[in-house]
Structure 1
Amino acid sequence: MTSKLTEKQKATLWQQHRAASYQASCRLAGYTPSDIIMEQADERLASLRRQYGG
């Protein structure tokens, strides 16, 4: 029997997925972590979502 995830678990899972996606997009774009300021993460993700329709 599987149990449903709590809201906190869902939020944590979403953050982990988002961080992994962001890091992958940065690697594809040729950025290194020292080149990126974490406050720019939301901006970059929003831009990628607009570009790829996600």
Structure 2
Amino acid sequence: MPAKLTDKQKVTLWQQHRLANFLASCRLEGLQPAEPAAGDQTAEQRLDALRRQYGR
């Protein structure tokens, strides 16, 4: 019997499905959604810079 998902895993799975559905819907409508401006690594670097700037 498979293990139950944690709440965090459920949220992540739901977000992935939501994004996939949104992108599929956009393709059906003929729209090209903008790609996220920053990747994970860029976002982490930005957070680190802001933490240094504000002393946290």
Normalising TM by the smaller chain, what interval?
0.5 to 0.7
SS in 2 for 1:33: coil
Structure 2 gaps, min length 5: 35-56
User: Structure 2 length as normaliser, TM-score?
Assistant: 0.57
* Largest Rg, 1 or 2: 2
Cα deviation for residue 2 of structure 1 reads 1.3
Corresponding residue pairs, total: 35
Q: Which has the higher contact order (CA 8 A, sep 6+)?
A: 1
Cα deviation for residue 25 of structure 1 reads 0.2
| Structure number with higher helix proportion | 1
* Pairing 1:31–2:31 present: yes
User: Structure 1 length as normaliser, TM-score?
Assistant: 0.59
RMSD: 1.6
Q: Which ranges of 4 or more aligned residues in structure 1 deviate by more than 6 Å? A: none
Identity of aligned residues (%): 65
Structure 1 gaps, min length 5: 35-54
